Amino acid sequence: MKSKWTAAAALAAATALLTACSGGGSGAPPTEKITLTYANWSEDQSPAMEQIAAEFEKANPNIDIKIQTLPWTEYWSTLQVGAAGGTAPDAFWMLADHFREYAKGGQLIDLSGTVKAAGIDMSVYPKAVSDSYTYEGKIFALPKDFDTNGIWYNKALFDAAKVAYPDDTWTWKNVQDAARKLTDKAKGVWGIAAPIDPQGGYYNTILQAGGQIVDSQGTASDFASPAGVAGLKFWTDLQAAGVSPTLKQLSDTEAVSMFENQKVAMYFSGAYWALRFHKNPDLQGKIDVAPLPQGVKRATVTSGIGNAGYAGSKHPEELKKFLAFLGGTRAAEIQAATGTVLPAYKGTQEPWLKAMPEFHLQVFIDAVDYSVPLPVAGNASEWQGLAAQYLTPAWNGEKPVEQAAKEYQDAVDKVLAEK
């Protein structure tokens, strides 16, 4: 008797659930539960992704979101093989420098219609980021987050050397002078880290010198122009002055680790380190961030992850719905509140700032005003991969910067000339 009652109760509950599901739907009965996979490459961020997925599932009980976290080293080859073989995840993180190949190859689901139908206002995203996910006028990904660059600096090392902290009045000269004063060979402390780092390093200084990295048609690079050379020289001069660990040292121990180990006092890099630094107990109360210095003008490159969907997904309608949710305020707020990253959605960044009040993180948001999209012309992963090879002699002082820059420019232009 008792079991009958339980069965009846279960049935009633199930019916109620089913009705609840169809209430919000387009009227079609929710026949069965479907699963969408959502791939990312960050262990750090996957808790926030789980939280976002849970929130979406609550509103869409017939859709089950499975989060897939792949190691960065396997992410792109897995995605590429999966897309070609029809087994790619439904939704996944995209980067601007990989985006063009996927969009051109017809692998991404077109979100233009969804944006219009759902009334998504594209102006809430930093234009530099949303533009980089548009291909031939169609929108293929909604910006998830963005990053600009600043000077991460170690206050304890600045205090020890009696140097004033960086601020928004700083020019290149201030950085160079401070780096010299902060370097203390006896203690194994360097003023700054000067690796061959495009995004955190020389792209910014080339732009600050008034140059551009790749021309607007994406057919020629600009490294050997006077501004290009000046932007590269900013870094090679720091190497020549001995105020940075050498390239070999920075190959063995990444710049960010050097900074965390308090071996370097200044590190030019993005907002994405904030959470890692915030969680590092050795750095409590010791570090902060300031705007990048000015050259001829202010500039920083910006980029951001986009949430894209696979064109070959078995559930395109549900996928579009999920992607729209990922591009919305709720997903942005969850990311901001967990301190994960700087969300792209305008006005949702406040919780991110508040999550780590010890840093002047507003610097990164203010930088949007003078930000330039990360160059992604042509086969970007190919020509960017050539940088270390061509620029190392300049960094090591084995070749004049002008010559290395010219050789790198020629190599890049050759890649850009490929179809």
**Residues at the contact surface with another protein, assessed by CB under 8 A:** 73, 76-77, 80, 83-84, 101-102, 104-107, 195-197, 247-255, 379, 381-382, 384-385, 387-389, 392, 395
Q: How far is the CB of 387 from another protein (least distance, A)?
A: 7
What is the spatial distance between Cα 200 and Cα 226, in angstroms, rounded to a whole number? 20
**Residue of 309, 372, 300, 307 whose CA lies nearest to 341:** 307
Residue 166 backbone zone (phi > 0: left; psi -120 to 50: alpha; other: beta) = beta
Q: Looking at beta carbons only, is 72 or 165 nearer to another protein?
A: 72
Shortest Cβ 244–another protein spacing (Å): 13
Q: Least CB distance from residue 195 to another protein, whole Å?
A: 5
CB neighbourhood size of 323 (10 A): 26
Contact present, 265 and 180 (Cβ < 8 Å)? no
Give the closest residue to 269 by CA, choosing from 194, 320, 339, 325: 194
Per the DSSP assignment, residues forming a β-bridge with 190 are 264
Of 77 and 169, the one with the shorter C-beta distance to another protein is 77
Closer by beta carbon to another protein, 241 or else 388: 388
Shortest approach of another protein to residue 184 CB, angstroms?
16
Measured from the CB of residue 74, what is the shortest distance to another protein in angstroms?
Answer: 10
Based on the number of CB atoms within 10 Å of its own CB, is 370 exposed (0-12), middle (13-18) or buried (19 or more)? middle
Cα gap 376→356, rounded to integer Å: 31
Handedness of CA 239, 243, 248, 252 (dihedral sign): negative
- Least gap, CB of 388 to another protein (angstroms): 5
Residue 122 or 247: the one with the smaller Cβ distance to another protein is 247
Whichever of 104 and 116 has its CB closer to another protein, that residue is 104
Give the nearer residue to another protein in terms of CB position, either 322 or 395.
395
Cα radius of gyration rounded to whole Å, the chain: 24
